[in-house]
Amino acid sequence: MKYVVDTSAILAGSQYDFYEKKYFQTHWKNFDNLINNGTIVSTESVYKELIAKDDSMADWAKDKKYMFQKIDNDVLEMGNYFSREFSNWYKKGTTSKENWADPEVIAYAKINELILVTQEGWNMNAKSDLKFKIPTICSRMGAYCHIRDKYDEGIKDHVGFQCIDFLELIKRENLHLHF
C-alpha cells in the first residue's frame, strides 16, 4: 500500500495536537521510515502549506522535501472536474489568499490509486459543498473512507483510492510498534 498525506495528517505531530511527536515518538519514527522507503508521499502544495507555517513543522518539511511529489497534467486536469462537480468548495478554496492543497492531494490520490491520510472530519451529511471536507469529497468520488469511528460500508476497503485518518494509518502500518 502507498499513502499520500494531507497537511493535517502531518500537523497531527505538531505541539498541542492529537499525536504530538514528543509523546508519540515511536509512531513518528515509524512514519518517517515509511517516508524514507517511499511508502508515504505528499504533494508540492502540502509542502507549501507547511512552509507557510514557519515553525518546527516547516523545518521538518524542508528536511523531508524529497517526499513531496511534483504533479502532472492529469492531476492539474482534475481541477476542471472539481470546479464542475464541487464548484462552491473549489471556488471557496481557490479564491483564498492562503495555500490550499486539498484539490491537489485528492487528485493525486485518485489518479494514482493511493490512500489519502487526513485529519479532517468527515461531514458526510453536509448538504452544501461549501462545507465539504477532504473525506466527503473522496467518498463522493468513490473512495473507501475510514475516518474516526465512521467508515463507508458501501465501498470495499480493498479499492486503491481510499481516505483514512492517522489512527487508521497507525493500525494498518503498526506505527505503534518498536521495530
Segment 90-114, tens digit of pLDDT: 888 777 767 789 999 999 999 999 9
Residue 147 lies in a domain: yes
How do beta strands 68-69 and 115-117 pair?
Answer: unpaired
Residue 178 lies in a domain: no
Distance between CA atoms of residues 100 and 36, nearest Å: 25
> Considering its fold, how many domains does the chain have in total?
1
Residue 43 lies in a domain: yes
Using CA atoms, how far residue 154 sits from 142, 164, 177, in Å, is 10, 15, 31
Percent of residues, the chain, with pLDDT higher than 90: 63
Strand order in the sheet with 162-164: 68-69, 40-43, 3-5, 115-117, 162-164, 144-147, 150-151
Question: What DSSP line would sit under 41-97, residue for residue?
Answer: EEEHHHHHHHHHH-SHHHHHHHHTGGGEEPP-HHHHHHHHHHHHHTHHHHHHHHTSS
Residue 76 lies in a domain: yes
3-state secondary structure of 6: coil
Task: Give the CATH number for residue 164.
Answer: 3.40.50.1010
- CB 5 within 8 Å of CB 46: yes
pLDDT digits (tens, 9 = 90+) for 132-149: 999 999 999 999 899 987
> Is the pLDDT at 77 greater than 80, yes or no?
yes
Q: Which residue has the cell 507555517?
A: 53
- CB 47 within 8 Å of CB 61: yes
Which pLDDT belongs to residue 96?
A: 72
pTM: 0.92
Residue 179 lies in a domain: no
What is the extent of the structural domain holding 122? 3-173
